[in-house]
């Protein structure tokens, strides 16, 4: 991909920076800093974000980080005084503020797509055959940025409760949260997410009281179908969420509401403090970085210490542990028994919590208990049919079992449930691997590149691209892909793949390893 800005071109495929036609010499870490800032230009990037992405979470001194940032500014004609492209946000981090034009697949003129920042054409997604709804992140009216997690937690719990209703198509949290703190038109949200209805609201927390406002909008007409305000004691927050959810259901499908006599089946935690910690943890977990995953686990362990029977806390804790192993951030062999204990405890505490079954399915997958893994993922999806993570990993388990066509469909469902998701890169990587199993190497490479464009630090897509290019006999592509894979996962080796990748059939494991051998991996 090529990023064009201020007479500069940053080419992530060739790892080159050019000023006009002149190539600019850039150290690898400085190049990676620039890529990360530009790819995440829609938000402020913290120092921890940069350390996790560029240095793999290793300890880095402030002077080293400052020198790389200064070098990045110098390379693109900026400076710490001017800050016309890379702006320092006091006590927060850095943000790339230049206007960016993007050329995707620039090496292939027949498929080149150039778009201006903020003007990317998006075709409207088709509406599903069920009422489709998106819950936008509720606005934090407290005036304290430190309370963002609380308003986010209210929104997320409402999404979870609505997701349990089979007659709704509920957009996953990560896609609806893309619109956080952004002025958007209701019609734009509806078209980009493919929904009929949009919920929005606000939260104001003060002392022991909370005020929550919520309204349900018909996206087609822009009209309000329902609105309400709730002033409650903080301890009643769970009851308020249930009231909001029931009111939304009643407004959209009153006949179904009457027929089903809906009651949200959610076991609230015994402690508001524990819930508070879980919401903080989720705000880190969804950022999908190594450092944030570590922070999330620490917060979840505190929540479990307060409330040992908090099913969601245990389920998300086990999920974060297995995900760290999948990403190569932790030793899966050491992590699996810890995650399994947490998931089993979560199920005993609350057998209706989909996170717990999802976590146990992930553990079973990497322990090569394939039938048990599929059963747990299917239970998670029965409890929450709109759980995009479970859809994606169900697809991965199917592909590991050689059922690549079913796996491809499941990955596609995950992408449709959450079309604007930080985990979309993972789902694209899963879809790519399914196509690799099906010997469709061109499709595998295309999907893998989609994942890498979304998140260059997601190792799964790099692995598939390397193996697919090797199996397709594309030597130069395979060589470059292997270099990028080693950068994203320094510990990669044939032995690691054979040991850590839970591929059911020996022939399929050998097929995957052969692709890496042809790419030059030892």
Asked whether residue 57 carries a pLDDT value surpassing 70, the answer given is no
Q: What are the b/e assignments for 359-397, b being 16+ CB within 10 Å?
A: bbbbbbbbbebbeebbebbebbbebbbbbbbbbbbbbbb
Per-residue pLDDT averaged across 166-193, rounded? 81
- Per-residue pLDDT of 6-52, as tens digits, reads 889 998 877 889 888 788 888 888 998 999 899 888 788 888 778 87
Structure confidence at residue 322 (pLDDT): 86
In CATH, 394-522 is 1.25.40.10: yes
Query: Which of these, 100, 75, 119, lies nearest to 6 by C-alpha position?
Result: 100
Q: Can you give the pLDDT at residue 191?
A: 85
Beta-ladder partners of 103: 2, 114
**Does residue 250 have a pLDDT over 80?**
no
Q: What is the pLDDT of residue 205?
A: 82
Helix-helix angle 424-437:404-417, to 10 degrees: 160
Angle between helices 424-437 and 441-454 (to 10 degrees): 170
Kindly provide the b/e burial profile for residues 35-71, where b requires at least 16 CB atoms within 10 angstroms of the residue's own CB.
bbbbbbbeeebbbbbbbbbbbbbeebeeeebeebbeb
pLDDT of 158: 83
**Whether the predicted pLDDT of 362 surpasses 80:** yes
Nearest Cα residue to 485 out of 444, 441, 519: 519
pLDDT of residue 25: 85
Taking a C-beta distance cutoff of 8 angstroms, is the pair 286, 200 a contact?
Answer: no
pLDDT of residue 442: 95
Question: What pLDDT score was predicted for residue 327?
Answer: 75
Average pLDDT over residues 126-132: 72
Residue 211 is predicted with a pLDDT of 85
Which pLDDT score, from 0 to 100, does residue 472 have?
96
Q: Which residues contact 427 (CB under 8 A, 6 or more apart)?
A: 388, 392, 395, 411, 414, 415, 418, 421, 451
Within a 10 A sphere around the Cβ of 74, how many other Cβ atoms?
14
Correct CATH for 2-116 of 1.10.579.10, 1.20.1260.10, 1.10.10.10, 3.10.20.90? 1.10.10.10
* pLDDT for position 378: 95
Torsion angle of C-alpha atoms 402, 406, 407, 409, degrees rounded to 10? 160
**R_g of the chain, CA atoms, integer Å:** 23
**What are the φ and ψ backbone dihedral angles of 102, each rounded to 5 degrees?**
-120, 135
**Nearest to 140, CA basis, from 283, 336, 287, 37:** 283
Instruction: For 279-293, write each residue's pLDDT tens digit.
Output: 888 888 888 888 899
Paired tokens of 497:
């793949």
pLDDT above 50: residue 120: no
What residues does each domain of the chain span? Answer: 2-116, 132-260, 267-385, 394-522
Confidence of residue 167 (pLDDT cuts 50, 70, 90): low
- Predicted confidence (pLDDT) per residue in 293-332, tens digit: 999 999 999 999 999 988 889 999 999 988 887 777 887 7
pLDDT of the residue at 218: 80
Task: Please check whether the domain covering 267-385 is classified as CATH 2.60.40.10.
Answer: no
pLDDT higher than 90, residue 486? yes
Q: What is the percent of the chain where pLDDT is above 70?
A: 89
pLDDT score, position 112: 35
Q: What is the mean pLDDT of residues 153-179?
A: 81
The whole-chain average pLDDT of the chain stands at 83
Q: Which helix (H) or strand (E) segment is 228 a member of?
A: strand 224-233
Query: Band of the pLDDT at 103, cuts 50, 70, 90?
Result: low
Q: What would the mean pLDDT of 171-181 be, rounded to a whole number?
A: 84
Higher-confidence residue of 431 and 193: namely 431
Give the model's confidence band at 249: pLDDT under 50 very low, under 70 low, under 90 confident, else very high: low
**Torsion over CA: 112, 116, 117, 120 (sign):** negative
Instruction: Give me the CATH code for the 132-260 domain, please.
Output: 3.40.50.10610
Are domains 267-385 and 394-522 of this chain identical in fold?
A: yes
CA distance 18 to 12: 12
Is pLDDT at 353 greater than 80 in this prediction? Answer: yes
- What is the model's pLDDT at position 13? 73
Mean pLDDT comparison of 54-68, 78-92, 157-171, 213-227, highest-scoring range: 78-92
% of the chain surpassing 90 pLDDT = 34
Q: Distance between CA 14 and CA 11 in Å, rounded?
A: 6
Strand order across the 113-116 sheet: 22-24, 16-19, 8-11, 2-5, 101-104, 113-116
Distance CA 195, CA 53 (A): 34
Residue of higher predicted confidence among 111 and 224: 224
Most confident residue range from 85-94, 329-338, 412-421, 458-467? 458-467
Q: What is the DSSP string of 334-357?
A: HHHHHHHHHHHHHHHH-TT-HHHH
Q: How many angstroms separate the Cα of 182 from the Cα of each of 152, 157, 392?
A: 15, 21, 28
Residues 342-362 have a mean pLDDT of 90
Q: What integer pLDDT is reported at residue 56 of this predicted model?
A: 63
Give the pLDDT of residue 105: 42
> What pLDDT, on the 0 to 100 scale, is given for residue 119?
39
pLDDT given at position 107: 37
């Amino acid at each position: 991909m090529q990023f064009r800005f201020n007479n500069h071109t940053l080419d992530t495929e060739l790892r080159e920076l050019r000023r006009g036609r002149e190539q600019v010499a850039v150290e690898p870490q400085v190049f990676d800093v620039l890529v990360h800032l530009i790819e995440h230009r829609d938000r402020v990037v913290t120092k921890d974000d940069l350390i996790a992405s560029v240095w793999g979470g290793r300890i880095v001194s402030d002077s080293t980080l400052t020198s790389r940032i200064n070098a990045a500014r110098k390379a693109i004609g900026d400076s710490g005084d001017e800050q016309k492209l890379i702006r320092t946000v006091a006590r927060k981090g850095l943000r790339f503020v230049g206007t960016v034009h993007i050329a995707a697949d620039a090496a292939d003129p027949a498929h080149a797509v150039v778009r201006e920042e903020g003007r990317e054409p998006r075709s409207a997604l088709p509406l599903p055959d069920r009422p489709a709804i998106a819950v936008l992140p509720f606005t934090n009216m407290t005036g304290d940025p430190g309370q963002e997690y609380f308003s986010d937690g209210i929104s997320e719990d409402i999404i979870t409760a609505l997701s349990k209703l089979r007659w709704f198509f509920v957009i996953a949290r990560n896609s609806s949260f893309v619109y956080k703190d952004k002025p958007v038109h209701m019609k734009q949200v509806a078209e980009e997410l493919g929904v009929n209805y949009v919920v929005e609201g606000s939260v104001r927390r003060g002392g022991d009281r909370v005020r929550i406002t919520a309204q349900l909008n018909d996206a087609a007409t822009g009209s309000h179908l329902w609105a309400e305000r709730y002033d409650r004691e903080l301890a009643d927050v769970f009851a308020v969420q249930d009231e909001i959810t029931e009111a939304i259901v009643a407004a959209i499908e009153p006949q179904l509401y009457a027929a089903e006599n809906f009651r949200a089946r959610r076991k609230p935690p015994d402690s508001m403090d524990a819930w508070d910690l879980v919401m903080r943890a989720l705000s880190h977990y969804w950022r999908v970085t190594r450092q944030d995953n570590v922070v999330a686990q620490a917060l979840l362990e505190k929540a479990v210490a307060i409330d040992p029977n908090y099913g969601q806390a245990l389920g998300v804790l086990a999920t974060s542990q297995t995900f760290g192993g999948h990403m190569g951030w932790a030793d899966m062999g050491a992590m699996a028994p810890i995650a399994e204990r947490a998931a089993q405890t979560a199920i005993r505490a609350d057998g209706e919590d989909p996170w717990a079954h999802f976590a146990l399915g992930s553990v079973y997958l990497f322990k090569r208990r394939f039938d048990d893994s599929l059963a747990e993922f299917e239970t998670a999806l029965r409890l929450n049919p709109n759980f995009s993570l479970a859809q994606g990993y169900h697809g991965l388990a199917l592909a590991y079992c050689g059922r690549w066509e079913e796996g491809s469909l499941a990955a596609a469902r995950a992408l449709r449930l959450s079309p604007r998701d930080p985990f979309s890169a993972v789902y694209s990587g899963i879809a790519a691997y399914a196509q690799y199993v099906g010997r469709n190497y061109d499709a595998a490479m295309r999907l893998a590149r989609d994942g890498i464009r979304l998140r260059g630090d997601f190792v799964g897509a790099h692995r598939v691209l390397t193996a697919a290019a090797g199996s397709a006999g594309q030597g130069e592509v395979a060589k470059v892909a292997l270099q990028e894979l080693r950068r994203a996962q320094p510990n990669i080796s044939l032995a690691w793949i054979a040991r850590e990748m839970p591929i059911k059939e020996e022939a399929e494991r050998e097929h995957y390893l052969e692709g890496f051998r042809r790419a030059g991996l030892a």
